[in-house]
Amino acid sequence: MATLVFDIETSGLPVDLFDESQQEYLFRDANKLEDPVAREAKRQELTQFMSLWPFTSQVVCIAMLNAETLRGQSLFVAEDYEDDASEGGPVEFVPCADEIELLTAFWDVAKHYDNVVTFNGRGFDIPFVYLRSAQLNVPISKKNWLGYRYSTEPHCDLAEQLTFYGVSGRDGAARRFNLDFYCKAFGIESPKSHGITGNDVPTLMAEGRYRDIAEYCVRDVRATVELYRIWKDRLAGIK
Tell whether pTM > 0.85. yes
Contact of 141 with 108, CB cutoff 8 Å: yes
In a domain, 187, yes or no: yes
**What pLDDT score does 170 carry?**
87
**What pLDDT score does 6 carry?**
98
In a domain, 40, yes or no: no
> Rounded to an integer, what distance in angstroms lies between the CA atom of residue 120 and that of residue 159?
5
In a domain, 29, yes or no: no
Exposed/middle/buried for 111, CB within 10 Å: 0-12, 13-18, 19+? exposed
Q: Is the peptide bond before 202 cis (omega within 30 degrees of 0)?
A: no
In a domain, 48, yes or no: no
Beta-bridged to residue 66, according to DSSP, are: 4
Task: Tell me, rounded to whole angstroms, the distance of Cα 161 from its chain centroid.
Answer: 18
Q: Treating both helix axes as pointing N-terminal to C-terminal, what angle do 99-110 and 126-135 enclose, rounded to 10 degrees?
A: 120
Written as tens digits, the pLDDT of the chain (239 aa) is: 799 999 999 999 999 999 999 999 999 999 999 999 999 999 999 999 999 999 999 999 999 999 999 999 999 999 875 544 555 689 999 999 999 999 999 999 999 999 999 999 999 999 999 999 999 999 999 999 998 999 999 999 999 999 999 999 889 999 999 999 999 999 999 998 888 888 899 999 999 999 999 999 999 999 999 999 999 999 999 87
In a domain, 226, yes or no: yes
Task: Determine the structural domain holding residue 146 and report its residue range.
Answer: 3-18+56-234
In a domain, 204, yes or no: yes
CATH of the domain at 73: 3.30.420.10
> How many structural domains are present in the chain?
1
